[in-house]
A = this chain, B = another copy of it.
Amino acid sequence: MTLGGAPAAARLDRESRVAQGDHEALRLWLRLLACTTLIETSVRSALRRDFDCTLPRLDLMSKLERHPEGLRMGELSRRMMVTGGNVTGITDQLVKEGLVTREAPPDDRRACVVKLTPTGRKALLRMAEAQAAWVARLFAGLSAAECRQLHALLAKLKASATASARSEAA
């Protein structure tokens, strides 16, 4: 999401005083965003179609899968990658469907820990499998070598963006 796509950016660019290198980076960012949005939209729609499931719901279940000991509601909220999902509402629904449990741990009766049930775990595995297959279809136009190259460049970008964000915050 940003300046309305590359054409707008290019036009704005001619009028404002954006340096050439900055302009290239902005175009690259718009391209990156377009790819992400395209894939995310496709995954969301397949998830709804095949599993009647939403991304925040899948995200929440995945977080629990990584923590067999369970997560408190606050931790769960912090770990969610999707914004806009209502963690309490999703959890209530999953409890109702028998996919997660919510219980107070013996050492702290005031806290509330959410865990994936065996049924929930199986449901998650099925969705993970399907998701991998959908995503593979979306990437099908790239050769194995191109995928490796893209992976390496994105690793470099991740490191660069992390370093830059850190120095901004410092």
Seen from chain A, the residues whose Cβ lies within 8 Å of a Cβ on chain B are: 1-5, 7-9, 12-13, 15-19, 21-29, 31-43, 46, 55-56, 58-59, 62-63, 65-66, 79, 81-84, 124-126, 128-129, 131-133, 135-142, 144, 146-147, 149-151, 153-165, 168
Contact = CB atoms under 8 A, between A and B. Distances in A.
A149 B149 contact: yes
Contact of A132 (B18, B36, B136): B18
Contacts of A161: 35, 38-39, 42, 138-139, 141
Contacts of A46: 168
A56 to B, nearest CB: 8
Majority SS of interface residues in chain A? helix
A42 B81 contact: no
